Amino acid sequence: MTEWAVFKRLLDAVYQHSTLLGQVWLTVTLIFRLLIVAVASESVYEDEQAQFACNTLQPGCPTVCYDRFAPISHPRFWIFQIIIVSSPSLCFLIYVWHMLSKEDASNKDQADVSKYKPYTGGPYKSDEQLLFLYNEQDTFRDLNAEPCTTKWGKMGQPRNRIWNCYVLHVCCRTILEVAFVLGQWLLFGFRVPIHYKCQVFPCPLIVDCFVSRPTEKKIFLLFMFSVGVFCICLNIVELNHLGWKKIKSLI
């Protein structure tokens, strides 16, 4: 229960500090990827090496042929993909927590100073109302807005850096998505063959091997490839939502 509670807090924090498109991406990753990988690993791929049958009695030949046929199994590749692609979001979350904690400490220090320094007037009734404007809920209220300018002095700088970090993490996430989609295509293609011919030591001559549940595996393969392409499109739309001119100025 403790692990699930920590996981839920992480998800809540990621949702809080993401745009609507970022929240959709996270939902797709959790539901369509994690759940599908869990179901596929439990039922379809559980006995894939045991059911990889070859017409030979040569010791070690089926194992070597299976390694040649599948350098990495589909579920392990997808789990690795989920971990790597989600890493930029986790790094961004850690950075946000760090920046907001520093800002909260700075605001607390300024609030302590205001107790001893009389308020000299201005557009706000008190210093406390001015500090309230920097509540963390306002950070991602509108990512289309211009980053905070020097109008707010040092207090505006953390917001600007958080916005830049968010854009950078979406760019990294997009690059990783593209890399893994291309990697899946190069490793597995778009189909799972029923019959595989193997010619490698210690097998005698050419050995015929047969794959278990090829149609089911092909469906999962195409589905995960489609989800990857959809996530790439979602990231591109989010980058367009954030503004290409702002992204170019950041890069």
What 3 state SS string does the chain have?
CHHHHHHHHHHHHHHHCCCHHHHHHHHHHHHHHHHHHHHHHHHHCCCCCCCCEECCCCCCHHHHHHHHHCCCCHHHHHHHHHHHHHHHHHHHHHHHHHHHHHHHHHHHHHHHHHCCCCCCCCCCCCHHHHHHCCCHHHCCCCCCCCCCCHHHHHHHHHHHHHHHHHHHHHHHHHHHHHHHHHHHHHHHCCCCCCEEEECCCCCCCCEEEECCCHHHHHHHHHHHHHHHHHHHHHHHHHHHHHCHHHHHHHC
Confidence of residue 107 (pLDDT cuts 50, 70, 90): low
- Averaged pLDDT of the chain: 76
Residue 172 pLDDT exceeds 90: yes
Confidence of residue 185 (pLDDT cuts 50, 70, 90): very high
Higher pLDDT, 161 or 219: 219
CATH number, domain of 235, equals 1.20.1440.80
Mean pLDDT, rounded, for 213-240: 92
Residue 154 has pLDDT above 50, yes or no: no
Give the pLDDT score at 21.
84
Tell me: pLDDT of 130 over 50: no
Percent of the chain with pLDDT over 70: 67
Higher-pLDDT residue of 101 and 218 is 218
Work out the average pLDDT over 124-131: 46
233 has a pLDDT exceeding 90: yes
For the segment 89-104, the average pLDDT, to the nearest whole number, is 77
Query: pTM for the full model?
Result: 0.72
Number of structural domains the chain divides into: 1
Looking at residues 1-29, what average pLDDT do you find?
A: 70
Q: Which domain holds residue 98?
A: 2-250
Q: Is the model more confident about 67 or about 96?
A: 67
**Residue 2 scores a pLDDT above 80:** no
Confidence of residue 12 (pLDDT cuts 50, 70, 90): low
Which band of pLDDT confidence, cut at 50, 70 and 90, is reported for residue 151? very low
